[in-house]
Each structure stands twice: as structure tokens, then as C-alpha cells.
A and B are shown apart, each in its own frame.
Chain A
Amino acid sequence: MSIRGKLEALIYAAGGAGIKISKLAELTGLSMAVVRENVVQLAQTTATDDHGVMLYQTGELVWFGTKPDYADVVQQLTDQTESLLTPAMLETLTIVAYQQPITRVQVDEIRGVNSVVSLRNLQSLGLIIVSGQADEPGQPNLYQTTDLFLQAFGLQTLQQLPPLPESEPTPEAEMYREDTDKGDQE
């Protein structure tokens, strides 16, 4: 039995939910460093064109999945369908992702709408968790995203979040001044 074979077998058996590097080390008796090194090699090997299934890593989780290139082929076999997220949930999740840890009130301020339901739904889906309490009156809950969030969006770490779009450059102050051509006219 090879080290890589063992790891491959374990990762395969763990399915799409993935298995943690630390769990792999525990089950094989190998050091974390050795596991990591072999995981990287496995990822490289399976990433080559010959493979339809490859090793993915999200945070500390590794798992096997089919390659997106083969989605249309696999689709014929499964009825796995669209997102569970409503637009409101997606918007709320995005704000939490970029501003975490963040309180409900802060999310509300950005969205201009009460986000309590969206936050609760995201929590029950396991995409966000309460990570603590803000040090302010009422000690409101602070929310942050989970590893499952990373996995659902194909990210390895939060650093891989696409940069938040910049605010457009604020135009000259004159733009704000009343301009009878464009401004309010009675």
C-alpha cells in the first residue's frame, strides 16, 4: 500500500462533504506535513487531462469531485439542480462574507432592509454561524461564514473572495450642486 493510495481511498470514501487534513493524518498515522505534501501531489495528478474526477481542497477539507468540463455529461445521470439561495439570502451572505464578523444591524444598514430571516436561513443551511458577540450595547451576535460557504462557492480560503467592486470615483463636487439642466425642476 502506498501513502498516496491510502489517502486517495480515504478521501474518496469521505465523499463530497470532504475530509479534513487532520483527520487524514489521524487515520493514516502520518504527519500533517506528509499528508499535505501528498494531497498536493494528488491534486496535481488528478488535474491532468486524463482524469474526469479530481481532488479539490476548500479550507482544510479535501474531496473528490468531477471536473466542471464534464458537467454536461454527468448532468444526464443526475437531477441535482439549482441553488437553494434566494436573492435576499445571496445578498446577505455576500455582505457577511466581505464584512465578517458583522452584526445584523450592520447588514441591515447596507441592504436597507431587515435581514433577520435571511440570516436565520443562512444559519440553518450552515453557510454562516454566530461567531461571538459585538462589544457594544446589547451585545449583538456577530456572524461569519463557514467552511461550507467556501466549499459551496469553490473557494479555498476567504482571501480568494473576488475583490469587492470599488465605489465608482466620486465625481466632482459640482455634480452634487444643483444643475438646472439635469436637476430637479418644478
Chain B
Amino acid sequence: MSKDTLKLHLTDFDGPLELLLHLIKEAQMDIYDINIKDITDQYFQYLQQMEQMQLEIAGSFFVMAANLMRIKSQWLLAEEIDDGEPEEDPREDLVNQLLEYRRYQKAAHTLQQREQHRQRIYSVPAVQSTTDVEIEPNEFEVASLVGTWQRIWQRQRRTAVGPVNQIEEWQFSIPTQAARIVTRLNQKGNRRLAFSELYAPTAGLEEVVTDFLALLTLVKRQLVRVTQPVGRNEIMIEGDNARDEH
């Protein structure tokens, strides 16, 4: 295997099994009859390259390296002793593991094709709903919160002044921001407030994050309810009993 190929694939491997399958394929070996010495050499060469490029190598790669060394030594030992007695092939477990892994790799490929086909179907968001979102156990409320958060932050980033990578002392506290949210809610006749109304379009990451955390705290303490009308990105805050508590 040339250095270029190695480089090309350096970061492509998610785990040692995937890497091993790749090396076996590259070397055109029979998976049922792996040349354990060659494959071990190649594997170590690969790890070395990763180290030279100062990439972080996951522990599982080292575990596999140790496993390969063990198989190799057993293999050599068996050759040396060779008393004609049939013995267990030291490669057997590894081969079975590789075969099993390859089954799922193939299945993953099939699923990926299905997903690509599915993405050729377009659909529209739901009409804006005025009723609360029903969150059922099997649904994805976290995903929608995360999505909302990303949109909020993207919007902030577009309008924010100054560099966002500048680190300053944290100026906002969760209790203060929570109290502010409650006050703002109480100022509203209908006790409903959109999350984005809480801060100015130029607010920094720090303020938005703190507001978001404060909101989560209030939800946890059941002082406010949060809804997200279907199809809208906005989080609506409702404070039915907020006034009594504060």
C-alpha cells in the first residue's frame, strides 16, 4: 500500500474492523484465509502514519493492534510446533467478527440507498397550528429544540456585531435571566412570549445561551410551559402561574 493511499484514507476509518476490512480488500486477501503477518504489518504501518500526522487514535485501534499481535504469535507458534494435530485456528474469532461486521456494512449501504431514494420525495411543513404541540414518547422533541436553537443562533450570528470568538467574562446569570423572563411574561397581557422577543437582535451568544438555560430551568421548575407550534421555528413561552411563584 502506498503512502498516498494511506494518507487518503487516514481519517476515513471509524473503527478497527472497518480499517481491517479495507486492508484485506486492498491486499486482495481471502477473508477466510487472512495472511495474519502481512495484515498485522499493514495495520501497524497505518497506526504509525496516524501517529506521525498527530491524529488522535481511538483506544479501540490499539486493542485491535494487541489482538493482531496475539493472533500472530499464536499463529507462528502453531507453525513451529506443527505436530500434525488439528488445532483451533487463532484467526477464527477475528474472521467471524469481520464477517459479522461486513453484513451490517452491506445492510447500512442498502439503507443509505433507501434514504437517498426517500430524499427524492419532497413535502411541505404543516400549516401553522394554534394548538399546542403534542409530544408523544416516540417523537423528537429534543431534535426540534436543537433545530430551533441552531436557527436562533444562526440568525443572531448574522446580525451580531463584533467577532464571536472573543472571550469575555460571563456577564449573565441564569437566576437573573430567569427572573427577567418571568417579569417580561407578566408584562404581557396574555402571558405568552416568543423566545426571540427576550433579547435584542444584536445580543451576543452569552446572553442567548443564558436565556436558553434560564428558560430550561423555568420549565424544569414548572414555572413556565414551552410550546412550539407545528411548522414554526419559534419557541413560545407561557407563564400561567408564574406570577404566583414570584
Give residues in A with beta carbon < 8 Å to B: 13-17, 56, 63-68, 71, 74, 78, 80, 82-83, 85, 87-88, 90-91, 93-95, 97-98, 110-114, 123-126, 129, 146-148, 151-155, 161-162, 164-168, 170-171, 175-179, 182-186
Q: Which of B75, B116, B127, B143 is close to A184, meaning CB atoms less than 8 Å apart? A: B75
A residues in contact with B92, CB < 8 Å = 176
Q: Are B126 and A154 in contact (CB under 8 A)?
A: no
Top 3 nearest A-B pairs by Cβ distance? A126-B140, A16-B123, A113-B15
Q: Are A178 and B32 in contact (CB under 8 A)?
A: no
- How far apart sit A85 and B101, CA to CA, in the bound complex (Å)? 19
Q: Are B37 and A185 in contact (CB under 8 A)?
A: yes
Q: Which B residue sits closest to A80, measured CB to CB?
A: B122
- A-B contact list, 14 entries, CB within 8 Å: A15-B127, A17-B126, A71-B122, A74-B122, A82-B119, A83-B112, A97-B111, A98-B107, A126-B142, A154-B117, A176-B92, A178-B82, A184-B38, A185-B35
In the assembled complex, B168 has its CB within 8 A of some CB on chain A: no
A residues in contact with B86, CB < 8 Å = 177
B residues in contact with A95, CB < 8 Å = 104
CB proximity of B150 to chain A, nearest CB, Å: 12
In the assembled complex, B53 has its CB within 8 A of some CB on chain A: no
A residues in contact with B76, CB < 8 Å = 184, 186
Q: Are A124 and B35 in contact (CB under 8 A)?
A: no
In the assembled complex, B58 has its CB within 8 A of some CB on chain A: yes
- How far apart sit A112 and B99, CA to CA, in the bound complex (Å)? 12
Q: Are A113 and B122 in contact (CB under 8 A)?
A: no
Q: Are B117 and A168 in contact (CB under 8 A)?
A: no
Give residues in B with beta carbon < 8 Å to A: 14-18, 30, 32-33, 35-38, 58-60, 64, 72, 75-76, 78-79, 82, 86, 89, 91-92, 97, 99-101, 103-108, 110-112, 114-127, 137-140, 142-143, 146, 230-231
Q: Are A177 and B115 in contact (CB under 8 A)?
A: no
Max chain B CB contacts within 10 Å: which of A82, A91, A179?
Answer: A91
CB proximity of A80 to chain B, nearest CB, Å: 7
Q: Are A153 and B89 in contact (CB under 8 A)?
A: no
B residues in contact with A90, CB < 8 Å = 108, 111-112
A residues in contact with B138, CB < 8 Å = 129, 146-147
Q: Are B127 and A13 in contact (CB under 8 A)?
A: yes
A residues in contact with B116, CB < 8 Å = 83
Q: Which A residue sits closest to B19, measured CB to CB?
A: A112
Q: Are A148 and B14 in contact (CB under 8 A)?
A: no
- How far apart sit A85 and B114, CA to CA, in the bound complex (Å)? 13
Assuming the contacts A113-B58, A164-B103, A184-B75, asked whether A176 and B122 have C-beta atoms less than 8 A apart, the reply is: no
- How far apart sit A178 and B121, CA to CA, in the bound complex (Å)? 53
Assuming the contacts A98-B104, A112-B60, asked whether A182 and B115 have C-beta atoms less than 8 A apart, the reply is: no
CB proximity of B154 to chain A, nearest CB, Å: 15
- How far apart sit A21 and B3, CA to CA, in the bound complex (Å)? 57
A residues in contact with B89, CB < 8 Å = 176-177
Q: Which A residue sits closest to B78, measured CB to CB?
A: A178
B residues in contact with A65, CB < 8 Å = 121-123
Q: Which B residue sits closest to A165, measured CB to CB?
A: B106
- How far apart sit A65 and B124, CA to CA, in the bound complex (Å)? 8
Max chain A CB contacts within 10 Å: which of B14, B30, B123, B137?
Answer: B123
Q: Which B residue sits closest to A16, measured CB to CB?
A: B123
A residues in contact with B121, CB < 8 Å = 56, 65-68, 71, 154
- How far apart sit A171 and B122, CA to CA, in the bound complex (Å)? 46
Assuming the contacts A16-B124, A178-B79, asked whether A110 and B100 have C-beta atoms less than 8 A apart, the reply is: yes
